[in-house]
Amino acid sequence: MLKKTHLSLAITLLSLPLFAQENNFFDFFNEEMAPKIEVNIKTLNYERKEDRDQSQGHFSFDKFQILSEKTNLKLHNESQFYDADIYRRGKMIGFHGPAASFVYQLRDQDFKYVDSFQWMTMNNVYYFMDRNEIILQGKNFAMREPQTMLLTNDFKLNCDRHPDYLLNDGDGFIAGCFNYGFASALDNQGISSDFRFFDESGKKLIDLKGYFKRIDFQQEAIDADITSLTSNFSDEVLLNATDIKLACEKPRDVVSVTPEKLVVPCLDNISIEGNFLGAEFLEDNDELTILNPRITHEDKTLTIDHSDIRYKAKESEFKLSNSILRCKTPEKGNVIEVETFLSGCLNDSELFKKEEDVSFEFKVTETEPKPFELIVGGDVQSFQVNSERLNMTSDKLKLEIDKSIFIDFNQINLDCQKEEGLSQFDAKAMLTHCKKDMVIGLDTFSLKDFIDPRNPVLVKTHPSVVKNRDELLHIELPELKLVDQEDLTLMENVKILCKTENNEDVFIPNEIIGACVKRGQINIDKIFTDDSNLSVSTLTNPQTNIDNVQVEKKKAKIFDVNLITQDGKIYGKVMIRFLGMKSEVTFSGPISWDIEKEVLTIKVENSRLPLGIKSENIFMFFLKKMLVAEMITYEKDKTIKISL
């Protein structure tokens, strides 16, 4: 057995006279660590401590070899004679064990590199470095620097040397492996890695965890195959991905690993293709999923090609299929922040079709102040967003409100306002802004109203325009057909203008009726009526087509309708057929809308009939004959109540 006395070359660690001696056996370390280094590391545990007299960690190896022009040192440690504790003092590092101790002084650049490590651990790691190549492979490796932390398992890293950084120091390692390196797995599962980036204050910016099949570091690019990846951005956004192929740009001659040097250039010019990509926005618990994503970001343009996108928030959900989304990212945006890309898509984007039609579904659910559900879905022919407006065209669109109102649109064109500078997806807020200033043009509009299941109503219009702008709701309906159990009604050239000064929701009929009752105007050219005799089951049958329900167009009994509401009063002027002649009828009186009971009440106080007759009783008599419907009741005090 080798005795300690045989180790005459050993140097007592932390002996100040020894640190000061001129003829140190390890003087060649002052030039560089060595031209050739080969180590089989069994374990290494290092933690930088301020107390220099305290052990900084422990080092155990099976084989250690360093080779220079002056010295060739080989140590075999099968018997663990050379296991040692690690010490540091000034720019000197030493290893002190039961059988031997040695110490050497680091060059300034080596000291800066070693001193940057806050801690480091290795288990069963092989390390080789000479003028031609670098090899690092093993079971476990972990380290923490001020702005980076790496934990990796079952890895193999092979690197060529950078011609400008051939010394075996920190710069040589990084320059070789981050410009000419290839990492692969020791087993089929992949390299298990956790790579974290921090800002200068120590705040975590990005945490990348996953299994990598390979990572190829080239002079100007990074190329990787990833089995699974989880990315945490500043504890705000959590990304998950599977079966990812990644390629991105990197600067030439990287010799330091920081977010600014590596991550930002990569995200500025990146291509990702995979099976699944998901994001969870941790503050609001919103979720985004993308199936079969093909994503690129270059020249400040984000392109997302996918088979399916879904975004789920607390009160809303959005689905989009078979499209290519192209977004312009802000010039001054920080690509490390997901909000930069989200802001681009919410403020400057365009949607393109692929081979199949683009389909989407948009759902809003509210619980307060009262339950409300809105579902919109259909195809998308075009979709554009800029800083202030949103425009969409669709061949077919369906809208469902509270599972009781069903609307079909054909050939729709929507142009509406959006909030400037959006950086988060808020479907409810976007819909609110859209409804405040919007123009809808469409070919046909079909509505099924099943709010009262005992009295369903079908509605159909032909080319029409709905505009809500400057607190004015403007509706133009060239033809409007209404069908219920009792009556068939056909109106021609309906024009409605209402003041919406209290932010009434144009998608909620009760609120629009309330707005029109306060201040509005309705004009109708002609009204045709006929008997219906349709059953509830027929009206609610999905196969029932309102186009097959014909209203016989005889001479209209009512035409040139002009209704004005203002300050709680209604003023009406209507042309009717009386004794075969066209005659004018006028009336006025208080009007009110009970939004809870959904009842419209009109009290006739003044009227003028043909031949100059002024009699509210006669007016009510004629009205009862001409307007008959289950929803309309006439009371003795000349009050008309319409249940809507």
pLDDT in the model for residue 423:
78
Across-strand partners of 119? 47, 144
Which of the 8 DSSP states describes residue 236?
T
Residue 275 has pLDDT above 60, yes or no: yes
Query: Residue 13 has what pLDDT?
Result: 28
Measured CA to CA, the distance from residue 420 to residue 432 in angstroms comes to: 13
620: region left, alpha or beta (phi > 0 left; psi from -120 to 50 alpha): alpha
DSSP H helical segments within 312-417, as ranges?
A: 338-347
Q: Report the mean per-residue pLDDT for the chain.
A: 84
Compute the average pLDDT of residues 359-380.
Answer: 85
Segment 589-605 mean pLDDT: 91
Per-residue model confidence as pLDDT tens digits over 16-64: 322 333 333 334 344 555 688 899 999 999 998 877 778 999 999 999 8
When pLDDT is cut at 50, 70 and 90, the band that residue 546 belongs to is: confident
Quote the percentage of the chain above a pLDDT of 90.
28
Among residues of the chain, what percentage have pLDDT more than 70? 94
More confident: 479 or 21: 479
Question: Would strands 181-185 and 204-217 be described as parallel, antiparallel, or unpaired?
Answer: antiparallel
* Per-residue pLDDT tens over the stretch 227-259: 988 888 878 888 888 899 999 999 998 888 887
pLDDT-wise least confident of 64-68, 148-152, 382-386, 397-401: 64-68
Q: What is the mean predicted confidence (pLDDT) over 187-214?
A: 85
CA separation, residue 121 to residues 45, 60, 193, 247 (Å): 5, 11, 14, 30
Q: Which two tokens stand for residue 504?
A: 């009434």
**Helix 108-115 × helix 170-177 angle, to 10°:** 70
Structural contact between residues 210 and 193, judged by C-beta atoms closer than 8 angstroms: yes
The residues, any chain, with a CB within 8 Å of residue 231's CB and separated by 6 or more, are 206, 207, 208, 209, 238, 239, 240, 241
Among 104-118, 120-134, 197-211, 257-271, the minimum mean pLDDT is found in: 104-118
pLDDT at 280: 87
Virtual CA dihedral for 351, 353, 358, 363, nearest 10 degrees?
Answer: 0
Q: At residue 555, does pLDDT exceed 80?
A: no
pLDDT at residue 9, rounded to an integer = 28
Q: Could you please report the per-residue DSSP string of 24-92?
A: -TTGGGGT-S-SEEEEEEEEEEEE--S-TTS--EEEEEEEEEEE-SS-EEEEE-TT-TT-EEEEEETTE
Q: DSSP E strands: which ranges in 532-643? A: 558-566, 569-578, 581-594, 599-603, 606-608, 632-635, 639-643
- Asked whether the beta carbons of 136 and 126 are under 8 A apart, the reply is yes
pLDDT higher than threshold 90 for residue 535: no
Which pLDDT band holds residue 350 (cuts at 50, 70, 90)? Answer: very high
The model's pTM is 0.72
Q: pLDDT tens digits for 300-332?
A: 999 999 888 898 888 888 888 888 999 999 888
Q: Dihedral, CA atoms, 629, 635, 636, 640, nearest 10 degrees? A: -80
Q: What distance in Å separates the CA atoms of residue 45 and residue 57, rounded to the nearest whole number?
A: 5
Query: At 620, is the secondary structure helix, strand, or coil?
Result: helix
Residue in 320, 311, 304 with CA at minimum distance from that of residue 288: 311
Q: Regarding predicted confidence, which is higher, 629 or 271?
A: 271
**Residues 491-498, mean pLDDT to the nearest whole number:** 92
Long-range contacts of 199-203 (CB under 8 A, 24+ apart): 199/147, 199/259, 200/146, 200/147, 202/146, 203/234
Written as six digits, the tokens of 289 are: 């999923």
CB-based contacts of 300, cutoff 8 Å, min separation 6 = 328, 329, 331
